[in-house]
Amino acid sequence: MANQFGGEWTEIKIRVFKKYLHAYMQIMKGKPWKLIYFDGFAGSGDIQTKKETEEVIEGTARQVLSFDEPRKFDFYYFVEKDLDNAQLLQRIINKEFPTLTDKSVVAGGDDCNQKLQDMAGFLKSPKGKNYKAIAFIDPYGMQVKWDALDSLKGLGVDLWILVPTGIGINRLLKKKEKSGQVWFETLGNFFGLDPKEIEDKFYYEDPQLDLFGERKFKKIENAVEAAAILYKERLRTIFKHVSDPLPLRNSTNAVLFHFMAASNVPVAVKIANDIIKKEK
């Protein structure tokens, strides 16, 4: 069975990423680098976009495997925690892309965070010096840990990441008006910040005391946008350049995620910004 998620925003995300891939491969054609495609939340290869119609589209993994012009990747690394999904994806590779079986790994049951750190270790090794990577990080929610991303610092990795500004961060912030709760740890791990800094970014003190004379804290109005700006700012501590965030909305126009790119190469982010601008 195909993975179930998405709607139009899923298609926008894949379209934007593929446009980038095309431009990136154009630049990489003829270059001596070996190229790795790292997919941290690979899925099953297919996506069911609508429950009612059971419409299925090709997932990113399948589309990247089919991608061969202007250049192919030399190695594909797919991480998928769910073993059933991983098995489906492995079956697609064996059946439909037999020439890539030896050039790909499906790390079924593994965690994206661990594998990002493993890739960083490889890229820092003598053998890894000949490689560049694209990391596509496409979670449902708050699974990505800051420390895992931080391990990519200074490496030849271009990142595309789906940040759950509406679906994850804002929901956690909504839970309570005050910090000191367990979800501030979650947000801290996500942004790589101290929980107190999270409180300062997303809450302000209400000048009016409550009934019993206690201070009250309120969430800022535009927390979803603020989360995207803060994440971009945080990514700039790892990568030299970060694109504008592209908001991805559901059918009622609510922002679910922001999609953004990061790289140490200025032209990579210029390309990403051009694509994002056209899509906005």
Ligand X SMILES: C[S@@+](CC[C@H](N)C(=O)[O-])C[C@H]1O[C@@H](n2cnc3c(N)ncnc32)[C@H](O)[C@@H]1O
Stretch that binds ligand X, among 30-38, 73-81, 184-192, 197-205 (CB under 6 A): 73-81
CA-to-CA distance for 5 and 2, rounded, in angstroms? 9
CA-to-CA distance for 84 and 12, rounded, in angstroms? 26
Name the packing angle between helices 195-202 and 182-191 (round to 10°): 90
For the chain, where are the alpha helices, taking DSSP H only?
8-28, 60-66, 83-96, 112-124, 146-150, 170-174, 182-191, 195-202, 223-235, 266-279
State the minimum distance, in angstroms, from the CB of residue 98 to ligand X: 21
Using CA atoms, how far residue 106 sits from 81, 92, 158, in Å, is 10, 11, 20
Position 60 contacts ligand X (CB under 6 A): yes
State the minimum distance, in angstroms, from the CB of residue 191 to ligand X: 17
State the minimum distance, in angstroms, from the CB of residue 134 to ligand X: 13
Supply the DSSP symbol for 153. T
* Chain centre distance of CA 255: 15
Stretch that binds ligand X, among 35-43, 148-156, 201-209, 226-234 (CB under 6 A): 35-43
Exactly one of 22, 72, 81, 103 binds ligand X (CB under 6 A); which one? 81
Binding mask 108-147 for ligand X (x = CB under 6 A): ---xx-------------------------xxx--x----
Exactly one of 25, 38, 64, 85 binds ligand X (CB under 6 A); which one? 85
Give the residues lining the site for ligand X (CB under 6 A): 3, 5, 40-43, 47, 59-61, 79-82, 85, 111-112, 138-140, 143
